[in-house]
Amino acid sequence: MEKQTSIREGRLKRARTSGQSVSFLLSILLALVFSGGCSTSPQGEGQEGIREAARMTGTDLIRGLAHCEPRNPYPAVEVGEVGGNFHRPPGFGGMASRRRFEDREDARRAMILFREFLVDRLVNSRSVQYVTASEVKRRALSEERLYQMQHASSSTVHAPGHLIGADFGVVARFSREKGRVISAHLEALDFSNNRVCWSRVQQIHY
């Protein structure tokens, strides 16, 4: 009888320990889910702040290019694809931690968003020609032209040799400020003579 009682108590103890382990694992999983769901990536007001910073930068860039010599009423511009550095957040060295990694990723997304909003401002301003300097995009266009020359009717083929070269390239250097702020140091370089035609320091809150 005592033996049966001890066996029963042992089973209850193991069941209790197993249940506690399951509860502990579930609490860890829930904590990870909620911490992952509470990302501080640029959304809502943060994204609108980045959009406004890009809008002001784009307006100032268009105004600055209009005064570059020799004056071009409709200059061709590319942004960040030649030494743009829009994908490398600054000042996130030191020991790796989850918080530091998330902050770095948020900064990277903010920089990419800033560039996308800036390009959007330039394209829709109708004051400049926006061209791409991306090797990936150029290769895709070349392959499409080659396909057209082989398969499309002659009246619709876009022959090579008609690409628009950029007059100016916008390059950027970023520095980290206190809190969730990055300073973008932007310059427009004249591709014909390497002259800096326009510059601006823009703070990006993310």
Instruction: With cut-offs at 50, 70 and 90, classify the pLDDT of residue 33.
Output: very low
pLDDT at 38: 38
Instruction: With cut-offs at 50, 70 and 90, classify the pLDDT of residue 95.
Output: low
Domains in the chain: boundaries: 1-38, 42-131+166-205
Q: How many DSSP H helices and E strands does the chain contain?
A: 4, 5
pLDDT at 100: 78
Q: Which residues pair with 197 in a beta bridge?
A: none
Q: What is the pLDDT of residues 105-156, one digit of tens each?
A: 888 899 999 999 999 999 999 999 998 877 788 888 888 888 888 898 888 8
SS3 122: helix
Rounded Cα distance between 107 and 135, Å, is 25
- Six-digit token string for 89: 């957040």
Map tokens 């998330």 to a residue.
Answer: 102
Rounded to the nearest 10 degrees, how much is the dihedral formed by the CA atoms of 39, 100, 183, 172? -100
Average confidence score pLDDT of the chain: 78
Whether the predicted pLDDT of 192 surpasses 80: yes
Mean pLDDT of 88-98: 66
pLDDT at 12: 46
Which DSSP letter does residue 128 get? S
Rounded Cα distance between 95 and 198, Å, is 37
